[in-house]
Structure 1
Amino acid sequence: MRIRRARPEDLPAAGEVTLAAYADFTEGDVDDYVEHLRDTARRDREAEVWVATRDDSDEVVGTVTICPDGSPWREISKPGEGEFRMLAVAPTARGQGIGAALVDLVVNRFRRDSAPAIVMSTLPVMTSAHRIYEAVGFVRAPELDWSPTDQVHLIAYRLELRP
């Protein structure tokens, strides 16, 4: 597998992978969040979209959005902390280590940037993702849990990078 910063031609496929990965957690086309998930062009302008591809192909099989300081995509991080959003693996590519590799990318990136910690939000039902985060050392941070709408409750995880 290869992981790289998304190129303009990758963005539509990255949006579709994100949408497919989150399909079970949306209300379909009537859900306003669907367009938010699909809009990787905007995310890449305002944050950083990264993609995973197979070694022998440019087919996007995974994606993550890294939210550096100043990005409007940051939700719960304090200045200097790392944050990422919309970790997604194509349903046909699950179980191949792609999600873990994308999380490793995020951790290495924020370590290189000397961030003290990384935080992120997730739905309580995304237990497969929680296992990936916990395997890397993320721990639940209930003090950062929040609700963007009355119908959506997000739980937070945190990884300390510096003592």
Structure 2
Amino acid sequence: MSTDEIVIRDATEDDHVSFIESLVSAYRQYAEVLPGPVWEQYESGLRASFYEGKPIARIVAVSKGDIIGSFQLFASSEEAYGQPELGIHNPIIRYLAVSPEARGKGIATLLIREAIKRTHSIGAGRLNLHTSDMMASAVRLYERLGFERAYETDLYSGEVLVKGFRLELNEAALRL
């Protein structure tokens, strides 16, 4: 599969089942490292994410009619997490996912480029996201693409530190 075969588009209501199954499949690797009840709660949150909240957009990467990646873009920390006190007043990527069989092919980078494009199109100068050390390969990708730690936006999910990152939409970021 080449990235030329990938279509990046808004998810539709008809995509909801495939969107959710692709999302859960992408995150299922964490079932092995999280305690059973924690994974069950996490999975439940993933499944509910298509219906909860009011993202700016739900975006999918599609290859040969199948959803192989996705993310949701929220306007601020209030919309993304119900936490206005985090002080993030620009878009936030949540639930970035790439199906296990599609990994290593640049799909996550394509999705992040779309998030940058959408963020820039609404006049915002920064894009944020959160992740944890458990997602080491994602952290490496974000750092390679120019995201920097935003310590002031860190939060805790139970006992886990969820690290904040931000990308200033400068010329380099807009060329990704």
Same fold (TM over 0.5): yes
Q: Does 1:4 align with 2:14?
A: no
CA distance in 1, matches of 2:72, 2:8: 12
Give the drift of 1:4. Answer: 0.4
Does residue 161 (structure 1) correspond to residue 166 (structure 2)? The answer is: no
Q: How does 1:1-150 map to 2 (within 5 A)?
A: 1-26=6-31, 27=34, 30=37, 31-43=40-52, 46-47=54-55, 48-54=57-63, 57-69=64-76, 72-74=79-81, 76=86, 78-79=88-89, 81-150=90-159
Q: Is the 8 A contact 1:123 1:155 kept in 2?
A: yes
Find the aligned partners of 1:72 and 1:36 in 2 and give their Cα distance: 15
Structure-2-length-normalised TM-score: 0.80
Q: For 2:162 and 2:30, how far apart are their aligned partners in 1? A: 12
Write the distance in 1 (CA, Å) between the matches of 2:143 and 2:77: 27
Letter in 1 for 2:50: A
Greater percentage in helix: 2
TM-score of the superposed pair, with normalisation by structure 1: 0.85
The answer to whether the Cα contact below 8 Å between 1:88 and 1:99 also exists between their aligned partners in 2 is yes
Gap runs ≥5 in structure 2: 1-5, 172-176
Cα deviations by residue, 1:45-94 (Å, 9 ceiling, x for unpaired): 6212110011xx22000000011258632454522x11110000000110
Alpha-carbon contact 1:12-1:40 (below 8 Å) kept:
no
Shift of 1:115: 0.8
Counterpart residue identity of residue 116, structure 1: G
Give the paired residue count: 158
Q: Percent identity?
A: 28
Q: Secondary structure at the match of 2:80?
A: coil
Equivalent AA in structure 1 for residue 94 of structure 2: R
**Cα RMSD (Å):** 2.2
* C-alpha distance in structure 2 between counterparts of 1:25 and 1:46, whole Å: 26
Q: In 1, Cα distance between the equivalents of 2:72 and 2:87?
A: 14
Q: Which ranges of structure 1 fall in alignment gaps of 5 or more residues?
A: none
